[in-house]
Structure 1
Amino acid sequence: MDEPETTRRMQIIVRDNNVDQALRALKKKLQREGVYREMKLRRHYEKPSEKRAREHAAAVRRARKMERKRMERDGIK
């Protein structure tokens, strides 16, 4: 059985009734934590084969990006 996911609490302090600044800080934290990406992925059911294909494509993109950065750093190209 899958273990239930633990919920992480996030706290944003509103200083001097500046709600706009607090909202910006909250959005930044949510972005850093990957909550928006997770919400987008969980919006619809994703078949396991589709998930594998998506993760494989992401791994290929990461590998190509790392290779480009390595070549640029080494002065090739």
Structure 2
Amino acid sequence: MHNQYIAGLLGVSVGQVNRVAGQCMRQSDQLTMDEGAPLSTKITGRIDGRPWCTMIDFEEVLDLSVHLMTAA
């Protein structure tokens, strides 16, 4: 589970998310989850006038930041 991502979206601490998640684990078999964790970041970069991607996933942030630091 992306506890840090969820905490950031909700504006709560990771500890709060962990506590609620722990309480809900018994019910987790009834939950369905999509893949990915899209950030609400506006895509401003363009290639040929079109956005370079539709969204940035939480799991991609570290790799993307390494690419940006390398390019700088």
Using structure 2 for the length normalisation, give the TM-score: 0.31
Which is richer in helix? 1
Greater relative contact order (CA < 8 Å, ≥ 6 in sequence): 2
